[in-house]
Amino acid sequence: MALKQSLQQKLLQKLSPQQIQLMKMLQLPTQAMEERVKEEIESNPALEEGREKEEFDFSDYMDDDDTPGYKYEANNYSKDDDDKRMPIGTSRTFHDRLSEQLHLRNLTEVELAICDHLIGSLDDSGYLRREIPSVVDDLAFGQSIMTSEEEVEKLLVKVIQDLDPAGIGARDLQECLVIQIKRKPSTVTIKTAQVILEKFYEEFVKKHYSKITHRLEIEDEDLKDAIEEIVQLNPKPGNSMNESSRPVEQVVPDFQIISEGDELLVQLNGRNVPELRMSRKYAEMLDDFARIKGTPTKTQRDAMIFVKQKLDSAKWFIDAIKQRQDTLVRTMQAIVDYQIEFFKTGDETKLRPMILKDIADIIHMDISTVSRVSNSKYIQTSFGTYKVKYFFSESLTNDEGEEVSTREVKKILQDLIGTEDKRKPWTDENLAKELKSKGYNIARRTVAKYREQLEIPVARLRKEL
């Protein structure tokens, strides 16, 4: 086959590395953006934090090389100064805490090794998901410890399941709850709850309360008291230890709403607007290179290229910060204007149907830009702090032909379930009929979808005595 040469013209759209970085910066929330700025300042000596100001060099006025440098240093802070230091929190896992308890027990070296292995096999919720025979094999092949299933079972029940918090080392939810209920002070109600968990667990899970009362020959009030004890138990005991050791994370809103007369204006969080400047020292170095007479040496050329690259990078980063701020404010202001009724009243039913394209058309930007702006961002209002994504929802048409937000329908659905008779909760079919009577003609399966999105269980599991 003969080789051929041909000329072709193609029109391609490619993003520059700077544009890609700008898009990544656009989706960063406030705290992540602070870290991004700090990284850039550390990596680029031509970029400095602070406003542009007149600088002067003390060396022009003082020439005393004998004075130690610490004489010119101060560590004075007023109460109005921001302390931007970030303390580093350390925490222990719940496995570490269990191991500490274990080593206080009077165990042989082999028993301690087996129990250590069992603790290491627990998942984050505190459950042992591995079968006992598999644990025996793991000990034999991994640690050369020859033991029996009976020995491992005994240590699991007598030692591991006796550690705090109660419920650790269970192999399923039923065993976890039984371990916890046995730790409670013995009363008639506790004994009833224990029998329910041990002998009528399936009936309890499926809420077949009449079967339980009939078999145990107890009244509804007795059953209700026992169930109240059961629902107070922790289904994930390992998580309780993880939560207590986890540093508390505070949501930092990226936007704030400011009321000026009848207008609502969006303002960026002050921490989201870092003040940066280009280093005057590096700019002067570039001027010095320009004044070099004759042909510069290779070292001078390399130094000049390095300084110019750093200055160009600093200028781009400062411009990118300004562009990011402008895009964030424009996008969020458009969202506030679109959902003005909600931001004035705080009534969720006032939310209009809104998709990314609606805002993109208003600000004349791409849908992906709006998506990046709303991603992982929060806005502080008079009614609380909300995720920006919260204000986006699909639409449906009511009986009057008006487009309403699915958020409004979900709120009404939530209110209906909140006011239902818990002895006879409404099925999805009943809920669909109730919504239809209010002018929202939606199918039963749509009700089921919205209910699941609201994390509300089916009617059978909402039943109460």
Question: Quick check: 72 pLDDT over 60?
Answer: no
Q: Torsions phi, psi of 133, nearest 5?
A: -60, -35
Same domain, 218 and 286: no
CA dihedral defined by 159, 120, 178, 201, rounded to 10 degrees?
-150
- Span 192-201, pLDDT tens digits: 999 999 999 9
- pLDDT category at 86 given cuts 50, 70, 90 is very low
Task: Look up residue 246 and give its DSSP letter.
Answer: S
- pLDDT category at 74 given cuts 50, 70, 90 is very low
Tell which residue, 198, 309, 289, 240, has the closest CA to residue 93: 240
* Distance in angstroms (rounded) separating the CA atoms of residues 448 and 272: 40
Find the CATH number of the domain harbouring 435: 1.10.10.60
Domain edge (last residue) among 391, 425, 441: 391
Contacts of 451 (CB under 8 A, 6+ apart): 413, 417, 428, 431, 458
Q: Is residue 308 part of a domain?
A: yes
* Distance in angstroms (rounded) separating the CA atoms of residues 236 and 242: 10
Contacts of 276 (CB under 8 A, 6+ apart): 37, 41, 47, 48, 49, 50, 314, 317, 318, 321
Q: Looking at the chain, how many residues does it have?
A: 465
Question: Quick check: 137 pLDDT over 80?
Answer: yes
Average pLDDT (337-351) is 87
Q: Is residue 407 part of a domain?
A: yes
Same domain, 155 and 230: yes
Same domain, 381 and 403: no
Beta pairing partners, 48: 277
> Among the listed ranges 1-5, 87-91, 334-338, which one has the minimum average pLDDT value?
87-91
| Residue found under tokens 């107890």 | 218
Question: Quick check: 71 pLDDT over 50?
Answer: no
Q: b or e along 137-167 (b: 16 or more beta carbons within 10 Å of the residue's beta carbon)?
A: eebeeeeeeebeeebbeebbeebbbebebbb
- Span 243-288, pLDDT tens digits: 544 555 577 888 999 888 788 899 888 766 668 888 888 888 877 7
Q: Is residue 149 part of a domain?
A: yes
CB contact at 8 A, 464 and 417:
no
Same domain, 162 and 231: yes
Q: How many CA within 13 A on the CB side of residue 137? A: 5
Q: b or e along 270-298 (b: 16 or more beta carbons within 10 Å of the residue's beta carbon)?
A: eebebebbbbeebeebeeebeeeeeeeee
Alpha-helix residue ranges (DSSP H) falling in 255-378: 280-290, 298-338, 340-345, 356-363, 367-374
Beta pairing partners, 128: 122
- Report how many domains make up the chain: 3
Average pLDDT (305-311) is 86
Same domain, 399 and 279: no
Same domain, 399 and 324: no
Task: Look up residue 153 and give its DSSP letter.
Answer: H
Average pLDDT (218-227) is 88
Q: Is residue 82 part of a domain?
A: no
To 5 degrees, how large is the angle CA 366–CA 372–CA 374? Answer: 110
Same domain, 275 and 378: yes
Same domain, 170 and 285: no
DSSP states of 182-230 as a string? HHSPP-HHHHHHHHHHHHSHHHHHTT-HHHHHHHHT--HHHHHHHHHHH
Same domain, 201 and 105: yes
Same domain, 311 and 431: no
| Residue found under tokens 């990011």 | 324
Q: How far is CA 111 from the centre of its chain?
A: 40
Residue 25: per-residue pLDDT = 84
The structure tokens listed for 286 are 């570039």
Largest CA-CA distance found in the chain, in angstroms, rounded: 107
Q: Is the dihedral of CA 185, 187, 192, 198 positive or negative?
A: positive
Question: Quick check: 70 pLDDT over 80?
Answer: no
Q: Is residue 71 part of a domain?
A: no
Q: Torsions phi, psi of 378, nearest 5?
A: -125, 150
- pLDDT category at 329 given cuts 50, 70, 90 is very high
Q: Is residue 32 part of a domain?
A: no
To 5 degrees, how large is the angle CA 154–CA 126–CA 200? Answer: 75
Look up the domain containing 109 and give its range: 94-243
Residue 52: per-residue pLDDT = 60
Residue 180: per-residue pLDDT = 92
Q: Is residue 249 part of a domain?
A: no
> Among the listed ranges 146-150, 388-392, 435-439, which one has the minimum average pLDDT value?
435-439
Same domain, 269 and 383: yes
Q: Is residue 26 part of a domain?
A: no
Same domain, 271 and 337: yes
Question: Quick check: 208 pLDDT over 80?
Answer: yes
> Among the listed ranges 54-63, 140-149, 199-208, which one has the minimum average pLDDT value?
54-63
Domain edge (last residue) among 220, 243, 266: 243
User: What is the rounded average pLDDT for all residues in the chain?
Assistant: 81
Domain edge (last residue) among 219, 243, 267: 243
Q: What is the pTM of this model?
A: 0.55
> Among the listed ranges 47-61, 65-79, 442-456, which one has the minimum average pLDDT value?
65-79
* Distance in angstroms (rounded) separating the CA atoms of residues 394 and 414: 17
